[in-house]
Structure 1
C-alpha cells in the first residue's frame, strides 16, 4: 500500500458523485462476492450503510470485513455483485474516482513534512489554491483538536496525535464516506479508549458516513450506530449495539460479542422450561445461597464454585452444575477496597437469573 493510498490518490473530483462536499452518503452492496482463486473471501453479501451513520464491521481475522472495506474503497475488484455510493454505481470505478477516503492503522505520514503539509498533501495534488488550502488545513486540524501542532514533524507527536493527523488528512478532502481500517489497533489500551471517544465526537461533528473495521467487540459497541458481525465471509447479524449484544441472532454472535453463557436445549428445558438454545450474559447471573428460594420470574440451578477471577472493576465467578454445565457470573466490585466479598471456590450456590434476561438464540 502506497502512502498516497491513505488519501485515496486525490486527483480530479469524483466522477461518481459530481460535487464534492460534506454531504452525507449511504453505501449499498448487492450480491457482492470476492474470490481469490478457489477461496471465497466474501459470499453473496447484501449490506446497506445509512447516510451519516457510524457503521462498524466486526469479526475475527479472516472473516471478510477488511476485504469488504477494500472493495468499497476500490482497492480490490468485485468478483460478482455491485457497490453503490449515494445511489450511484461505483463498482467499476478506480479508487480516485470514488468520493471516499481511507484511514489505515499505520498512519503513513510523510516524516519529512510538517503536520500542516501532511494534511495539505491531497489538496496540493488537486491543485487547490494556496490560501484556500491553508484555510481547509486549519479547519481540519481544528476538527481533530490539533491546530497547535501544525508546524511540528510527525515524530514529535504521540501515537494518538499521529492517528488524529491521519484522520485530518482524510477529512480535509471532504469525502462522502470515510473508511477506517482498524485505525486504533496500534495504540495502547488507555489511549485507544480515549481515541474512541474522540473519534465518535468527530464523526458527529462532521456528519460524514464512517465505515469502521475492527475485531475488538468493545470498540464496536462503543463507537457504532449499527454493527455488522462477520463470520466466514458472511454477515451473521446487523443491528444496533444493544440489539446485537442483547438479542444475538446466532450462536456465533452470542459467543463472539462479549462473554455469554450458552445453555443448550437439554439443560434449558430442565432449568427454564425452554426447549431451545438460550444465551445469558454473565452480568445477568446472580449467585445466591444454596438454600435460596427463587421468585416466580426467576430461573436457576444449583452449582459449585470452581473458580473466581478478579479483574479490577469486576469479579467473574465460574460455577459448575452436577450435570457438568458451566456458567459465568460477573459482579461489579462496588464493595470497599480491600474487603473480600462474594463466593469462594468450593461454595455451594444457586446460579439464578430473571427469565426474560435470557435470549433465545435462533
Structure 2
C-alpha cells in the first residue's frame, strides 16, 4: 500500500481574526508558570489570544485551563512569567484593574432583584448616572434577546435565560476581554446546543475577545475561532477547529478530540511501508466484504466486527483485526429507517480508508 500523506494544516477557510494579539482586546501570556506548593498547575505557558476572537481552552479536569483563566482574571497570582491585556502588562494588577469580566457556571444572580436590576448592578457600583444605566441595560438585554423579561425575577426564568442574563451583566461593563468558565455546563444537552449558537452570535455582534474554558470537545469545535488543547499544565496544540481535529500534532490531541483510530508506527509500517504513527477518524473508515480488493489509493486491514453501536445519526462498528489492532468505523445512517444494517457482530470485513486521509502523528 502507498504511504500516508504528510498532511499540513490548512490556512484560509478557518483563519482566526487578523487583528494583532497586542491590539484592543488581545491577551499575551509569556512563560507563565503557576505552582500550588509542590504541584505545577501551569508549566511555562506562552500563549497569544487575538483581539476579537473566540478562543477556547479545552482539556480534561486538572489540565490547567481553569487556572489559566483565573490568572488572566487576576484571581490567582503567577509564580513566574507575565500577562498582558491589550498591550498592557497586568501581571501584578488587581482583578478590578483589569479590563476583563468573568461569567461562571454558577449564574450568581441576586434572587430579590429584577432582571434589569441584576444587569445594572455593576453600573450602580461604579456610580454610573441613572439615565445611562437604563440605556445600557436596555442595550445589554437586547444583545441577549431578553428585553421582554426585564421586570421578572431570576426564579421566573429558565436555565438558559438565566445564563444569558449573567452574560448581559458581564457585557454591560464593556470589558475588552470576556472570560467564560464552562458557563453552559449546567444546562441539558438540547439547551446547551442552542446556547452555543446564540453565544457565538452574541460574540460576533459585540466584537470583543471571548476566552472560553470547556472540557466538551464538541462545544469547543462548535464555538471557537481557535482552540488550545491543554494537558498536564501545558498546551499540546493551538489551531482552528479544523486544524486540531484533522491534523492532530500529538497522540493526546488525536484521542481527546473525538474518536480516533491511533495506529502505532509498527502497525503503520506493515500497512503502509512507513514507520510513522498515524491517526484515522472513524468517519473516514468504511467497511466492505473481506474478499473485495481496495483501490490503489486505499489502505485496508482485515478483521471481525466485535460490536455495533447505534447512535441515531450513525452506526459505529468496532473491528478487531487479524494483527491485533482495534479499528472503529462510523457509517452515516442515510438509509431508510426500516432497512437492516449491512453489517453485524461476527461478520468478517475489510476496514478501508483513503491513504491520504490518515494524518501523521509526530
TM over 0.5: yes
1:176-231 CA-to-partner distances (Å, cap 9, x unmatched) read: 00000000000000000000000000000000000000000000000000000000
Which ranges of structure 1 fall in alignment gaps of 5 or more residues? 1-22
- CA distance, structure 2, for counterparts of residue 294 and residue 78 of structure 1: 55
- Is residue 92 of structure 1 aligned with residue 92 of structure 2? yes
Q: 1:241 aligns to what?
A: 241
Task: Show the 5 A alignment for 1:344-355.
Answer: 344-355=344-355
Tell me by how many angstroms 1:273 deviates: 2.1
Tell me by how many angstroms 1:338 deviates: 2.7
- CA distance, structure 2, for counterparts of residue 69 and residue 38 of structure 1: 21
- CA distance, structure 2, for counterparts of residue 314 and residue 142 of structure 1: 39
- CA distance, structure 2, for counterparts of residue 126 and residue 339 of structure 1: 64
Q: 2:296 aligns to what?
A: 296
Q: Counterpart of 2:306 in 1: which secondary structure?
A: strand
- CA distance, structure 2, for counterparts of residue 135 and residue 279 of structure 1: 53
Aligned length: 340
Q: 2:12 aligns to what?
A: none
Which ranges of structure 2 fall in alignment gaps of 5 or more residues? 1-22
Q: Counterpart of 1:243 in 2: which secondary structure?
A: helix
Tell me by how many angstroms 1:147 deviates: 0.3
- CA distance, structure 1, for counterparts of residue 33 and residue 47 of structure 2: 12
Q: 1:284 aligns to what?
A: 284
Q: 1:83 aligns to what?
A: 83
- CA distance, structure 2, for counterparts of residue 109 and residue 273 of structure 1: 60
Tell me by how many angstroms 1:274 deviates: 2.2
Deviates further, 338-347 or 212-221: 338-347
Q: Counterpart of 1:96 in 2: which secondary structure?
A: helix
1:127-160 CA-to-partner distances (Å, cap 9, x unmatched) read: 0000110000000000000000000000000000
Q: 1:165 aligns to what?
A: 165
Q: 2:323 aligns to what?
A: 323
Deviates further, 268-277 or 168-177: 268-277
Q: 1:112 aligns to what?
A: 112
1:301-353 CA-to-partner distances (Å, cap 9, x unmatched) read: 11111110001111000001112210000111111113212210111111000
Q: 2:16 aligns to what?
A: none
Q: 1:232 aligns to what?
A: 232
Q: 1:17 aligns to what?
A: none
Q: Counterpart of 1:179 in 2: which secondary structure?
A: strand
In the TM superposition, structure 1's runs of 4+ consecutive aligned residues that sit over 2 Å from their partners are none
- CA distance, structure 1, for counterparts of residue 340 and residue 274 of structure 2: 36
Q: Counterpart of 1:230 in 2: which secondary structure?
A: strand
Tell me by how many angstroms 1:24 deviates: 4.2
| Pairwise CA RMSD | 0.8
**TM norm structure 2:** 0.93
- Is residue 102 of structure 1 aligned with residue 118 of structure 2? no
Task: Show the 5 A alignment for 1:48-67.
Answer: 48-67=48-67
Q: 1:219 aligns to what?
A: 219
**TM norm structure 1:** 0.93
